[in-house]
């Protein structure tokens, strides 16, 4: 049946061209019919839709790739922070020290807190700098002095979480009282 329709359409076109001659042929080639115009519009809309989807997919792909890179870098920084914390926390020279450390991107570690001596400060910075993955150490450690009235004591707990830090006020001796004359 499909072949019959084609044959009929071809025969009708041939008859029209034979009867109308060259003028009918030129008119048929110049003016596309409504179906051809609709087909061209659909093709144009399809191309436009395809281009828009490709741009959207490319943007989405780029955003996902950037997010993945940021997440991977942050996980690496968390591992660096844990390694530095472990080295500082268990070092005997630094057992009376308190630390607050943070890591930024690309292995940059910031040390905050207090240490008992200048040597302990240098040792803490050296330990952090020698840790795998650390590229730079920002030292914001304070050295405790003899005139300081508060000291920080680290309380170790058996839990895997970082040990809490507690401030302890040293005891001051009671003021001397004059001798009681009644005794």
Considering the chain, what percentage of its residues have pLDDT values greater than 90?
32
| Contact yes or no for 99/82 (Cβ under 8 A) | no
In tens, the pLDDT along 41-95 reads 999 999 999 999 999 999 999 999 998 888 877 777 668 888 898 899 889 989 8
Instruction: Select from 102, 103, 96 the least CA-distant residue to 121.
Output: 96
Q: How is residue 177 annotated by DSSP? A: -
Is residue 103 classed exposed, middle or buried when 0-12, 13-18 and 19+ CB atoms within 10 A define those classes? buried
**SS3 label, residue 88:** helix
Domain boundaries, the chain: 68-168
Per-state percent for the chain, helix, strand, coil, to nearest 5: 55, 15, 30
Class of domain 68-168: alpha beta
Q: What is the pLDDT, as a whole number, of residue 58? A: 92
């Amino acid at each position: 049946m499909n072949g019959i329709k084609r044959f009929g359409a071809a025969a009708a076109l041939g008859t029209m061209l034979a009867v109308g001659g060259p003028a009918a042929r030129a008119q048929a080639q110049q003016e596309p019919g409504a179906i051809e115009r609709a087909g061209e519009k659909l093709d144009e809309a399809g191309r436009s839709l395809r281009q828009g989807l490709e741009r959207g997919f490319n943007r989405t792909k780029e955003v996902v790739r950037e997010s993945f890179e940021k997440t991977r870098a942050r996980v690496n920084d968390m591992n660096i922070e844990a390694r530095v914390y472990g080295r500082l926390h268990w070092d005997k020279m630094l057992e009376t020290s308190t630390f607050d450390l943070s890591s930024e991107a690309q292995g940059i570690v910031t040390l905050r807190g207090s240490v008992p001596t200048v040597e302990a400060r240098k040792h803490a910075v050296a330990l952090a700098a020698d840790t795998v993955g650390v590229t730079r150490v920002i030292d914001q450690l304070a050295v405790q002095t003899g005139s300081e009235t508060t000291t920080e004591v680290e309380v170790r707990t058996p839990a895997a979480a970082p040990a809490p830090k507690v401030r302890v006020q040293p005891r001051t001796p009671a003021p001397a009282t004059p001798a009681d004359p009644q005794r």
